[in-house]
A and B are shown apart, each in its own frame.
Chain A
Amino acid sequence: MPPKPLDYESINENVKKAQYAVRGELYLRATELQKEGKKIIFTNVGNPHALGQKPLTFPRQVVALCQAPFLLDDPNVGLLFPADAIARAKQYLSITSGGLGAYSDSRGIPGVRKEVAEFIQRRDGYPRYISSPYSLFFLTLHCVNLFKRVLSLVSNLLDKVINYFILYFSDPELIYLTDGASKAVMQTLNTIIKGEGDGIMVPVPQYPLYSATIALLGGTLVPYYLEETANWGLDTNELRKSITEGRRKGLNVKAMVIINPGNPTGQCLSAENLREVLQFCYDENLVLLGDEVYQTNIYQDERPFISSKKVLMDIGPPLSKEVQLVSFHSVSKGFLGECGQRGGYFEMTNIPPETVDEIYKVASISLSPNVPAQIFMGLMVNPPKPGDISYDQFFRESKGILESLRRRARIMTDGFNSCRNVVCNFTEGAMYSFPQVRLPPKALEAAKQAGKVADVFYCLKLLEATGISTVPGSGFGQKDGVFHLRTTILPAEEEMPAIMDSFKKFNDEFMEQYEDHRGYSRL
């Protein structure tokens, strides 16, 4: 009898190596406790609807109508749906090839990709017509570009020349819709990574999608540390140190990931900082992967979100023509929070057409991203406008969600900072707080005896005592000897004070139990 092919010993080592803490030991234990009837507050995943956030009405109406097109012919449809939702559903159905039930283009429905491109242009302010000495010049180019598209008669040469400038525009042909941003990241990394000799720079702490995917694909993660004392700042000296270290190990460092706003760290990068990062990528010949899925989750006014693409275009040539950038976005975050739909996109900048073709080929093996989520993406980037019937409601609902998140970010970080041996940077953006917990030596000792990493030990105790399901910092990476946990800021606002109270109570008791009043493990 030969050994079975799926015996644990004989499966792919890369699969075993991959770790994904967000749904790891803590989550499984939490699910068990829930089955036993304990009330669990899931703050392990940025999953807003699971914690009571209501979906926005308008997008759901439009998708429901696309789902059941026979409703559109029913004379009574107006009793249940507003006219603008009906019109929008008809418009979407007209640009699909066979409604929600047919595979779309493997890159996504062209009409939706166009909506995304227009959104990016509005967001970043490109193309730029006003207050530039070249405004007329760019306007002309834009017209030529439109002309080109309408007639599709222009020669290959003119095409190339225009393409040279089109980088100032967002091109739907370089935007691919995906089943969530995770798939987009996997697809991109799969294109880049050849083997373990290839290094990808990833921030630490990081969102474990990156470490897990790099492990699965057999590449090597090159960490760069975010500076906790500088509000999780991204320091270029650290970047240089990290790449030097990677190269010293013989790695071919090919790409760098930034998560802005940060996950799990919540910081927002300034334009200046992004300029430095882009210059670094240019100098070191790296592809920049910009995870920007939290771009509408901003909870302060000093540092609004700025896209890497915009900063790159602002810098101008040669960088804007040469730095390769892939940006990611998702319908799962922001005010939409439609995690269950699995909708996302990536936009490629400065990627040569032959490589784009290869990425297209791989996308085509999966046939197409799911069509309902493509519609959600269209609705996210192109919401109702002032004057539309649904505008007021849409505006009220989305503003309500973001304002409440802003208040919750404050309650949560303040709450953590009021706890013994806990310090927490303010959550400037994204959906998470990432407090540092200074564990006393006795706690470290107890964790060791239980055979657990110290922060896992702490988080398990927290879960058992309070039902709060968090993710230990070790799942995201942290400096040696420093311990964190990640919670989302998503529990309902009215439950927030009680949650923070029960956390404080647990933490006090924990510290009381393990602190011998002779000092901490590390400050």
Chain B
Amino acid sequence: MRKSAADRFRHLFNRSLVFVRNQQNQQHHRLSPIPLSSSPFSSMASDSPFPVTAQNINPQVLKCQYAVRGEIVTLAQNLQKDLQANPGAHSFDEIIYCNIGNPQSLGQQPITFFREVLALCDYPALLDKSETQGLFSADSIERAWQIVDQIPGRATGAYSHSQGIQGLRDTIAAGIGERDGFPCNADDIFLTDGASPAVHMMMQLLTRSEKDGILCPIPQYPLYSASITLHGGHLVPYYLDEATGWGLEISELKKQLEDAKSKGINVRALVVINPGNPTGQVLAEENQRAIVEFCKKEGLVLLADEVYQENVYVPEKKFHSFKKVSRSMGYGDNDLCLVSFQSVSKGYHGECGKRGGYMEVTGFSPDVREQIYKVASVNLCSNITGQILASLIMSPPKVGDESYESFMAEKNAILSSLTKRAKSLEEALNKLEGVTCNKAEGAMYLFPRIRLPEKAIKAAEAEKTAPDAFYCKRLLNATGIVVVPGSGFGQVPGTWHFRCTILPQEDRIPAIVTRLTEFHEKFMNEFRD
């Protein structure tokens, strides 16, 4: 009894303390912008009562940057909230997110066959019901059976092997074999939650200290810079040549490699993004051969980001995997360390929310592969839905299957529409004063160069922002169109760009073009030298 009375007293006392402290704090608030990290009643001797503050967290976390979801996007989200609260507050009625390759958020419909199979695997009880045949295509039911049977115990809710379900890896390996004309071993496949964790895993494996360097294209997809920073490594840039359609020159690679070596950097790997992000170029096979030769000669791991392999929009170019190119040169496992990344988020399917992907690792010694397996196993496994989908994209319906025709119709409609969208946006951008834009041969982005007038650069400096970020913020505020400033991807110093996806639905493109053109004219009128 006494104890509980004492407890109650203490409780009341504490509550009244809340009150007192609140008033103290209210006064304090007027003085300090961060009241919670400096309390007058703190019993701690240190400056902050908290062990974890933005000042003492991992500096690599502080340092890394990821522009695709950075400041501009926060600004866009605020505008969106504002629009919901007071429609009509701005000259536009909605925010158009062209900052991120997230097709289904902009209205792209999922591929029916893939979703049928996933739904059946999510709720396998459907497979036993006769009504199911009325709602699902026969081949999706058959495929779902096949997949469920590949899962030990048919347990779709269980952790799988840390590399992914064996049967699904077999399917993927067969798909890769068919794509390349060279065999693929299912043991080389590691299924991951999207391609990003796979990239992180490789960076973690390769980086021992800041003296370890990774050759990265500039402009690059900021996953690479962020991941290298997080793991404490050193980004060694090589510039893509905008004048030759973002060409990748071996001479530039050599120059940057030598330069890094002379600074004492131990360069360990080369990142190639093909088709390019944000640059959209598709590498010629001849170019790829030279890259393979370079990596072999210099003993570099080739990290091939091939997540846009289905997104090629020009008839004169074709996607070739680095695996195929190196094998066709006669190079095998002993000649080249090659990692190829693939994702369910891109292509014609665009299933970003599923977080599915894989990496194919070849040319690694068994003890290193064991280490990769171990790191994968700490996270147990990647999500099963993503694993199943990865197997589906590498093995879609074939001629003669019930779903084949509707599948091909859906796929072709999406790809041909993307081709049209890429072309009309590119043409519109090239018409703007001071803007030049290379063709998007592949991927999902345009990366126009904007020649900003001196006055605009001055104005940006006055606001302490990069000139391209200044332009992008203005664009957002005036039109609701969200694009990412080139500085987030890297660019030749003194040049300015932005990245814009080609993903808004086709019927929206004309309106976007109009808004963009109007904005640009006004902008130039305001700042023209």
A residues lining the B interface (CB < 8 Å): 1-8, 10-16, 18-20, 22-23, 31, 45, 47-52, 55, 57, 60-61, 63-65, 67-71, 74, 76-77, 79-80, 96-104, 106, 132-134, 152, 157, 160-161, 163-165, 179-180, 182-183, 186, 190-194, 208-209, 212-213, 216, 254-255, 285-287, 315-318, 321-322, 324, 332, 337-342, 350-355, 357-358, 361-362, 364-373
**Nearest 8 A/B pairs, CB to CB:** A316-B14, A371-B353, A354-B54, A64-B123, A68-B119, A50-B158, A340-B384, A98-B105
- Beyond known contacts A80-B132, A98-B102: 7 more, CB 8 A cutoff: A1-B299, A8-B365, A164-B25, A180-B380, A216-B204, A316-B11, A339-B158
Q: A152 and B36: CB pair below 8 A?
A: no
Assuming the contacts A50-B155, A340-B158, asked whether A358 and B57 have C-beta atoms less than 8 A apart, the reply is yes
**B91 on interface, CB distance cutoff 8 Å:** no
List, in ascending order, chain B residues with CB within 8 A of A134's CB.
15
**A352, B506: Cα distance in complex, Å:** 44
**A77, B363: Cα distance in complex, Å:** 50
Q: A190 and B153: CB pair below 8 A?
A: no
**B312 on interface, CB distance cutoff 8 Å:** no
Q: B153 and A50: CB pair below 8 A?
A: yes
Q: B380 and A182: CB pair below 8 A?
A: yes
Q: A18 and B374: CB pair below 8 A?
A: yes
Residues of B181-231 whose CB lies within 8 A of A: 193-194, 196-197, 204-208, 223, 226-227, 230
Q: A6 and B301: CB pair below 8 A?
A: yes
**A79, B223: Cα distance in complex, Å:** 46
Stretch in B106-114, B170-178, B393-401, B459-467 with 4+ CB within 8 Å of A? B106-114
Q: Which residue of B43, B363, B380 contacts A45 across the interface (Cβ within 8 Å)?
A: B380
Identify the closest chain B residue to A74 (Cβ).
Answer: B135
- From residue B185, how far is it (CB to closest CB) to chain A in Å? 16
Q: A339 and B159: CB pair below 8 A?
A: yes
**A103, B100: Cα distance in complex, Å:** 9
Q: B383 and A370: CB pair below 8 A?
A: yes
Q: A45 and B379: CB pair below 8 A?
A: no
List, in ascending order, chain A residues with CB within 8 A of B318's CB.
none
- From residue B88, how far is it (CB to closest CB) to chain A in Å? 17
Q: A367 and B196: CB pair below 8 A?
A: yes
Stretch in B61-69, B275-283, B422-430 with 4+ CB within 8 Å of A? B61-69
List, in ascending order, chain B residues with CB within 8 A of A339's CB.
157-159, 380
Residue contacts A-B, CB under 8 angstroms, 14 given: A16-B371, A45-B159, A51-B153, A67-B115, A68-B116, A80-B129, A98-B107, A164-B36, A165-B18, A216-B204, A322-B42, A341-B384, A364-B69, A365-B64
List, in ascending order, chain B residues with CB within 8 A of A23's CB.
162, 374, 377, 380
Residues of B269-304 whose CB lies within 8 A of A: 269, 298-301
Q: A76 and B105: CB pair below 8 A?
A: no
List, in ascending order, chain B residues with CB within 8 A of A192's CB.
52, 57-58
Identify the closest chain B residue to A99 (Cβ).
Answer: B104
Q: How many residues on chain B are close to A (CB under 8 Å)?
A: 123
Q: Which residue of B15, B21, B53, B161 contacts A321 across the interface (Cβ within 8 Å)?
A: B21
**A350, B105: Cα distance in complex, Å:** 33
Contact string, B37-61, partner A, CB cutoff 8 A, digits 1/0?
1010111101001111110111101
**B122 on interface, CB distance cutoff 8 Å:** yes
List, in ascending order, chain B residues with CB within 8 A of A351's CB.
50, 52
Q: B52 and A76: CB pair below 8 A?
A: no
Assuming the contacts A45-B380, A101-B104, asked whether A77 and B135 have C-beta atoms less than 8 A apart, the reply is yes
Assuming the contacts A64-B120, A76-B134, A340-B383, asked whether A49 and B155 have C-beta atoms less than 8 A apart, the reply is yes
Q: B159 and A20: CB pair below 8 A?
A: no
Q: A287 and B354: CB pair below 8 A?
A: no
Q: Which residue of A4, A77, A285, A352 contacts B46 across the interface (Cβ within 8 Å)?
A: A285
Q: B152 and A191: CB pair below 8 A?
A: no
Identify the closest chain A residue to B386 (Cβ).
Answer: A370
Q: B50 and A103: CB pair below 8 A?
A: no
Q: A354 and B52: CB pair below 8 A?
A: no
List, in ascending order, chain B residues with CB within 8 A of A4's CB.
299, 337
Q: B365 and A157: CB pair below 8 A?
A: no
List, in ascending order, chain B residues with CB within 8 A of A317's CB.
14, 17-18, 21
Q: B131 and A160: CB pair below 8 A?
A: no
Q: A79 and B131: CB pair below 8 A?
A: yes
- From residue B85, how far is it (CB to closest CB) to chain A in Å? 6
Q: B152 and A6: CB pair below 8 A?
A: no
Assuming the contacts A8-B365, A99-B110, A372-B354, asked whether A352 and B36 have C-beta atoms less than 8 A apart, the reply is yes
Q: B378 and A216: CB pair below 8 A?
A: yes
Q: B375 and A355: CB pair below 8 A?
A: no
Q: Which residue of A57, A80, A212, A315 contacts B378 across the interface (Cβ within 8 Å)?
A: A212
- From residue B2, how far is it (CB to closest CB) to chain A in Å? 17
- From residue A479, how far is it (CB to closest CB) to chain B in Å? 24
**A179, B132: Cα distance in complex, Å:** 31
Interface centre among A2, A13, A65 (most CB of B within 10 A): A2
List, in ascending order, chain A residues with CB within 8 A of B25's CB.
161, 164
Identify the closest chain A residue to B43 (Cβ).
Answer: A318
List, in ascending order, chain A residues with CB within 8 A of B112's CB.
70
Assuming the contacts A68-B118, A133-B15, A164-B22, asked whether A103 and B230 have C-beta atoms less than 8 A apart, the reply is no
Contact string, B355-372, partner A, CB cutoff 8 A, digits 1/0?
110000001110110010
**B81 on interface, CB distance cutoff 8 Å:** yes
Q: Which residue of B131, B355, B380 contacts A369 across the interface (Cβ within 8 Å)?
A: B355
- From residue B100, how far is it (CB to closest CB) to chain A in Å? 7
**B125 on interface, CB distance cutoff 8 Å:** yes
Assuming the contacts A11-B371, A74-B135, A194-B58, asked whether A161 and B29 have C-beta atoms less than 8 A apart, the reply is yes
Q: B35 and A102: CB pair below 8 A?
A: no
List, in ascending order, chain A residues with CB within 8 A of B70's CB.
361
Q: A370 and B44: CB pair below 8 A?
A: no
**B442 on interface, CB distance cutoff 8 Å:** no
Q: B353 and A100: CB pair below 8 A?
A: yes
List, in ascending order, chain B residues with CB within 8 A of A352's CB.
34, 36-37, 50, 52-54
Q: A370 and B353: CB pair below 8 A?
A: yes
Q: B157 and A70: CB pair below 8 A?
A: no
List, in ascending order, chain B residues with CB within 8 A of A101's CB.
103-104, 108, 110, 349-354
Contact string, B444-478, partner A, CB cutoff 8 A, digits 1/0?
00000000000000000000000000000000000
Q: A7 and B50: CB pair below 8 A?
A: no
Assuming the contacts A11-B371, A64-B119, A365-B227, asked whether A80 and B153 have C-beta atoms less than 8 A apart, the reply is no
Q: A340 and B368: CB pair below 8 A?
A: no
List, in ascending order, chain A residues with CB within 8 A of B204's CB.
12, 14-15, 216
Q: A355 and B54: CB pair below 8 A?
A: yes
**A115, B320: Cα distance in complex, Å:** 46
List, in ascending order, chain A residues with CB within 8 A of B208's CB.
10-13
Q: Which residue of B51, B122, B365 contacts A67 across the interface (Cβ within 8 Å)?
A: B122
Q: Which residue of A15, A49, A355 contacts B205 across the interface (Cβ within 8 Å)?
A: A15
**A160, B32: Cα distance in complex, Å:** 11
- From residue B412, how far is it (CB to closest CB) to chain A in Å? 19
Identify the closest chain A residue to B373 (Cβ).
Answer: A23
Q: B17 and A5: CB pair below 8 A?
A: no
Interface centre among B37, B57, B102, B158 (most CB of A within 10 A): B158
List, in ascending order, chain B residues with CB within 8 A of A353's CB.
36
- From residue A316, how far is it (CB to closest CB) to chain B in Å? 3
Q: B159 and A255: CB pair below 8 A?
A: no
**A80, B81: Cα distance in complex, Å:** 39
- From residue A106, how far is it (CB to closest CB) to chain B in Å? 6
List, in ascending order, chain A residues with CB within 8 A of B42's CB.
318, 322
- From residue A281, how far is it (CB to closest CB) to chain B in Å? 8
Q: A322 and B300: CB pair below 8 A?
A: no
Q: A63 and B371: CB pair below 8 A?
A: no
**B479 on interface, CB distance cutoff 8 Å:** no
Contact string, B136-174, partner A, CB cutoff 8 A, digits 1/0?
000000000000000011011111111000000000000
Q: B337 and A164: CB pair below 8 A?
A: no
- From residue A179, how far is it (CB to closest CB) to chain B in Å? 5
**A180, B381: Cα distance in complex, Å:** 10
Q: A20 and B377: CB pair below 8 A?
A: yes
- From residue B6, how far is it (CB to closest CB) to chain A in Å? 14
Q: Which residue of A7, A15, A285, A371 contacts B354 across the interface (Cβ within 8 Å)?
A: A371
